[in-house]
Amino acid sequence: MGKLSMAAMLLILMFVSIVEAQVFDIGKYGGKPNSDIAQALTSAYKEACASTTPSKVVVPKGTYNLSPVKFEGPCKAPIEFQIQGTIIAATEKTTEPSWVRFSHIDKLTVSGGGVFDGLGPKAWGRCGKNAYCKNLPINFCFDFITGGLITDITCKDSKQFHVNVLGCKDLHFVRFTISASGESINTDGIHIGRSSGIKVIDSNIKTGDDCVSIGDGCSDITVEKVTCGPGHGISVGSLGKYEKEDPVTGVTVRNCTITGTMNGVRIKTWPDSFPGAVSNMHFENIIMNNVGNPVLIDQAYCPWNQCNAKVPSNVKISGVTFKNIKGTSSTPVAVKLACSGRFPCQGVEIADIDLTYTGKEAPAALSQCSNVKPKVSGKMNPPACSAPISAN
């Protein structure tokens, strides 16, 4: 028998634990199609969570409305939400920071092929940089979940971030779909903070911001076989904006395809920042299709001139590899390693890079470096660090 992937093993373990689960169908609690099922879903969850044997909360096929809900643990046994239908967010403005929140639950599964539609377009049209948009709800919040699987679920058109992961351990997203237009504002696909053992595997993310963003305090993060685009790419950071941020270590992004995004794979830190550390980052076997800034370390990340870009970043970056990254760049600079003048990047390796510029602004793609001396091997197109970084 061939060696099973970790994702496959987790699926099997989850299935074994819930195959004999007690079923709590929302229909038994008054949940009906074309009505708000918040109360029915909450009632079903409370009974399921109190069960001493594995339980399953079921939303059958159909279309339902849903006001903001919170599912708080701990529960007494493993619990699954089997969502078969389409769930549509309440259209009214809410002061809740999230639409659906799971917190302090061990051995949580969310599955079933269902769709969660956040009705984001109703809010995006009023967005920009105003305060209203800052307070829009996130579709899914997972807070302090240990041992979880989110699989065969579609998260659509969130008003803000689609998914926020905080303080979780061993939470896996497998065959998870996120769908929003490239014009949607601040709609990160999956944002991960202060968590470990998080995996995003065999998933498809289309959004208007980062497909996956990794914040401070994260370790052992894997993004594998993910298609990303439109969006802003796959990012570590931004880091260093706030005091006492925890280090980020052990991030692997591999076997992914990124298409039509603003950036590819990047690490971004603020200049004039608080101290921080990023280490053990690996980006490998990635296809770029018409991607802006396909390979990027940006230690002068300063959107909307919110900082003093002339003061070097205090975030230390070390142990970073970019390997076997191929495809096309929509901007002339295909590789840019702009490290801090105060703490130059250490232990950076680039190997087998083959990126072609598709535009007409320059005859060929460029590779720019500052405050870093990378180890270079294999094919290198464009030639590594062959162009200076122009001052802005």
Q: pLDDT tens digit string along 129-185?
A: 555 566 789 999 999 999 999 999 999 999 999 999 999 999 999 999 999 999 998
Annotated active-site residue in 104, 191, 232, 282: 232
Instruction: Determine the pLDDT at residue 280.
Output: 98
Domains 1-209 and 221-392 agree in fold? yes
pLDDT tens string 89-98: 987 677 889 9
Instruction: Determine the pLDDT at residue 133.
Output: 67
Task: Please tell me the CATH superfamily of domain 221-392, with its number.
Answer: Single-stranded right-handed beta-helix, Pectin lyase-like (2.160.20.10)
Q: Where are the domains of the chain?
A: 1-209, 221-392
Instruction: Decide: 187 and 218 in contact? Cβ < 8 Å.
Output: no
CATH: 2.160.20.10, 3.40.50.300, 2.40.50.140, 3.40.80.10. Which one for 1-209? Answer: 2.160.20.10
- φ, ψ at 140 (rounded to 5°): -125, 130
- How much of the chain exceeds pLDDT 90, in percent? 83
Nearest to 138 by CA among 161, 111, 157, 172: 161
Instruction: Determine the pLDDT at residue 248.
Output: 98
The answer to whether residue 282 is catalytic is: no
Q: ∠ at Cα 229 (93, 300), nearest 5°? A: 85
Nearest to 162 by CA among 122, 114, 213: 213
pLDDT tens string 191-248: 999 999 999 999 999 999 999 999 999 999 999 999 999 999 999 999 999 999 999 9
Instruction: Decide: 256 and 223 in contact? Cβ < 8 Å.
Output: yes
Instruction: Determine the pLDDT at residue 180.
Output: 97
pLDDT tens string 279-292: 999 999 999 999 99
